[in-house]
Amino acid sequence: MAIAPATPKSWYLPTKPHKFCPGCGHGIVLKALGENIDELGIQNDIIFGCDIGCSLLAWDFFACDSTQTHHGRVTPVMVGLKRSRPELLTVGYMGDGGGYSIGSQHLLNAAVRNETITLILVNNTNYGMTGGQMSPTTLPGQVTETTPLGRDTAITGYPTKGPEFLSTLTSDGAYIARATVSKYKQLKRFMRNALRNQIEGNGFSFLEVLATCPTNWRTNAQQTWNFLEDEIEKEFRVGEMKTPFGKGDKEVAVD
Amino acid sequence: MEKIVEGSTRAFLTGNETIAWASLVAGAEFMFGYPITPQNEIMHYWTRLAPKYGRGFLQTEDEISAGFTVCGAVQGGKKAFTATAGPGNVLMQEPFGMAEAMRLPMVAIIQQRGGPSSGTVIYSQQEVNLTTFGGNGEGYRIVYSTASHQELYDYTIKAFNTAWTYRFPTFILGDGYQAKMREPLELYDPQEKGITLAESFPLVGLPGVIGENRQPQHLNNIYSLEEELYEKVMTFSAVFEKISPEIVEYEEDSCEGADIILISHGVVSRAARDAMLILRSQGIKAGYFRPVTLRPFPDEALKKVILQSNAKKALIAESSYGQLTRLIKQSIYGETINIDTLYKPGVGIVDYDIINKVKSIL
């Protein structure tokens, strides 16, 4: 008899197996979220909000209430929900295109207002759902459908460093971090901190997660992992950029 | 809920102030707004009144955000609204579309300004197209076009009830004149007038324990298959058509036996009614028709009025270039009445504009 893999209790089983591509990082991020929901006992308190893009595929992923919105707009929907129902925990889920490009105005203003919401941004350095175009986080020289000769920084600038700019914008009480799907335990720990910060009502919480996209990167398993660990994690440093009220020891990047 | 207005009282207010009061008595708990003229004073009054009654306000980063925060708040089960105009109305088409697709009971006040583009900050009736059919869909919206401050009060209260009864986004289509003008009106407590306020309800964050006594709520507005969307849209259409007769409102006066029917909406209808009375006093048999709801449009009523009047001509007067005419023509297709038009896009229309036009065509 086959043994089913352990799945978080908060996963919604009728929608499993999920629809993400083989090798995609979303599954790992959503597993970390599911385990945190279980361990914190917040399944009935969470409203999970999806942006458009690959993050959309998580719209019915959890056995939690969820809502789905337009590209870039999950942040204001979560803001409206939280302000109307402060007792709920609102978790917005988005990609690097939705968060740093079309939704950047919402993201930075929600951060400045120290909105008591948790946002998880999955950064796989491209627009996955639309077929692999350049995103704000595409690496210099990285080939995408709209940078077929590689991203030319003279034309399109350098990758957006989300947690870095958000940590300078936010005030006391915010939690800002970057994790990677290659370090699962740390990812789960940072995510728990981002959720607990909202539970404690301290303020804005933001977690960027570096993730894999073999379909659009056109990479095999080994190349996928190499690109994540050897190139993306060099460009985007993993660690906690800001902890609420400066409390606790920040986990910073070590080379 | 605390009584905002005891019994009824006469007041002399601007339209924007009127809307803030009406939203309060209608039980609105949140306003999300972004500055744009001529609706600003709705926020100004709301931010002064709301804290006294425990109501919330957030000035968002733009109109897109104002619309989407309203979408979030109503999903949480709270009566919430926004107000905008012109280019802000353009930006809000995105959240209005989401509200259509997810049947969100959001309320938006539109105080029309001149267009296209930034246009003027003053007045127009040029946001009819945008407010009735502005999204990338079929226009599942309810639009009340008001003409006076009393109506701003009455229909703002009604808009919240309509939105929470039928679950389609509901609009008050005012204009810069109505926004800024000061007029006498009666403020009243709706319940004392026999108006029951619709209950709000959450769509997510429901009581109960998931997996034990309830299922998780998964709200969405995107579909994998053409057929899934088709089913959804066909259901919306059927529901919208079914409820339309309950929602449609219009005014008609002296059309029977009239030689010409004056058709207008919003603040222009006040000039049209005056023109009708003056023309009649001069022996010209004019009639008056005004759609109050522009969506759904009172097409059956207008067809009936035309049929019964025997009028050979209709004159459509609007402060835009044919936006009302388009709604009328699609509604009365097949009628043979001759249509004349008086278009003054972005400019006010007074009674003698209409009287002179009538005399030039009869």
> Does the CB of A81 have a partner CB in chain B at under 8 Å?
yes
Any idea which fold A22-246 has?
Rossmann fold (3.40.50)
Mark yes or no for CB contact B32/A80 under 8 Å.
Answer: yes
Conformation bin of residue A71: beta by default, left when phi > 0, alpha when psi is -120 to 50:
beta
**How far, in Å, CA of B106 to CA of B126, rounded?**
22
Q: What is the pLDDT of residue B119?
A: 97
Residue B240 binned pLDDT confidence (cut-offs 50, 70, 90):
very high
Q: What is the pLDDT of residue A52?
A: 95
Q: What is the pLDDT of residue B1?
A: 60
Q: What is the pLDDT of residue B3?
A: 83
**Pairing of β A118-123 and β A126-127:** unpaired
**Chain mean position to CA A173:** 20
Long-range contacts of A107-111 (CB under 8 A, 24+ apart): A107/A75, A107/A162, A107/A166, A108/A165, A108/A166, A108/A169, A109/B60, A109/B61, A109/B65, A110/A75, A110/A76, A110/A79, A110/A204, A111/A166, A111/A169, A111/A170, A111/A174, A111/A204, A111/A206
Token look-up 């006294």 returns B52
Instruction: Using CA coordinates, name the residue in chain A closest to B213.
Output: A44
Residue B277 binned pLDDT confidence (cut-offs 50, 70, 90):
very high
Query: Of all helices (H) and strands (E), which one includes residue A222?
Result: helix A221-226
**Interface size between A and B, measured as CB pairs under 8 A:** 129
> Does the CB of A66 have a partner CB in chain B at under 8 Å?
yes
Nearest to B73 among A63, A83, A106 (CB): A83
Nearest to B68 among A64, A68, A76 (CB): A76
What is the mean pLDDT of the segment spanning B79-85? 98
ipTM of the complex: 0.96
Mark yes or no for CB contact B68/A81 under 8 Å.
Answer: no
Phi first, then psi: give them for residue A12, nearest 5 degrees: -95, 105
Per-residue pLDDT of chain A (255 residues; tens, 9 = 90+): 677 668 999 999 999 999 999 999 999 999 999 999 999 999 999 999 999 999 999 999 999 999 999 999 999 999 999 999 999 999 999 999 999 999 999 999 999 999 999 999 999 999 999 999 999 999 999 999 999 999 999 999 999 999 999 999 999 999 999 999 999 999 999 999 999 999 999 999 999 999 999 999 999 999 999 999 999 999 999 999 999 977 777 777 654
Average pLDDT, chain B: 97
Sign of CA dihedral A19, A25, A27, A29: negative
Token look-up 């978080």 returns A8
Beta bridge partners of B210: B214
| Closest Cα in chain B, distance from residue A128 (Å) | 16
Domain regions of chain A by residue span: 22-246
Encoded tokens for A135: 């995103």
**For residue B174, is pLDDT > 90?**
yes
Residues 6+ apart with CB under 8 A from A234: none
Per residue in B104-135, pLDDT tens? 999 999 999 999 999 999 999 999 999 999 99
**How far, in Å, CA of B328 to CA of B317, rounded?**
12
**How far, in Å, CA of A153 to CA of B164, rounded?**
51
Give me the DSSP letters along B67-124.
HHHHHHHHHTT--EEEEE-HHHHHHHHHHHHHHHHTT---EEEEEE---STT--SS--
Q: What is the pLDDT of residue A250?
A: 79
Contact A59, A26 (CB under 8 A): no
Closest CA to B83 of B36, B45, B128, B129: B36
Contacts of B95 in chain A (CB under 8 A): 73
* Alpha helix ranges (H) inside B171-298: 176-180, 226-247, 268-281
Mark yes or no for CB contact A67/B95 under 8 Å.
Answer: no
Query: Which burial class, exposed, middle or buried, applies to A189 when counting CB atoms under 10 A from its CB (0-12, 13-18, 19+)?
Result: middle
Cα–Cα distances (Å) from B18 to A155, A244, B45, B127, B210, in that order, read: 52, 43, 9, 21, 43
**For residue B352, is pLDDT > 70?**
yes
Sign of CA dihedral B127, B129, B132, B137: negative
**How far, in Å, CA of B15 to CA of B150, rounded?**
9
Give me the DSSP letters along A72-119.
T-HHHHHHHHHHH-TTSEEEEEEEHHIIIIITHHHHHHHHHTT-S-EE
> Does the CB of A59 have a partner CB in chain B at under 8 Å?
yes
Domains of chain B in start order, with CATH, are 8-193 (3.40.50.970), 250-361 (3.40.50.920)
Helix (H, G, I), strand (E, B) or coil at B175: strand
**How far, in Å, CA of B217 to CA of B307, rounded?**
50
Instruction: Using CA coordinates, name the residue in chain B closest to A111.
Output: B61
Query: Which burial class, exposed, middle or buried, applies to A19 when counting CB atoms under 10 A from its CB (0-12, 13-18, 19+)?
Result: middle
Q: What is the pLDDT of residue A254?
A: 52
> Does the CB of A71 have a partner CB in chain B at under 8 Å?
no
Encoded tokens for B142: 């309810």
**For residue B173, is pLDDT > 90?**
yes
Q: What is the pLDDT of residue A251?
A: 79
Name the percent of chain A in helix, strand, coil, to the closest 5.
40, 20, 45
Buried b / exposed e across B114-136, counting CB within 10 Å, b at 16+?
bbeeebbbbbbbbbbebbbbbbe
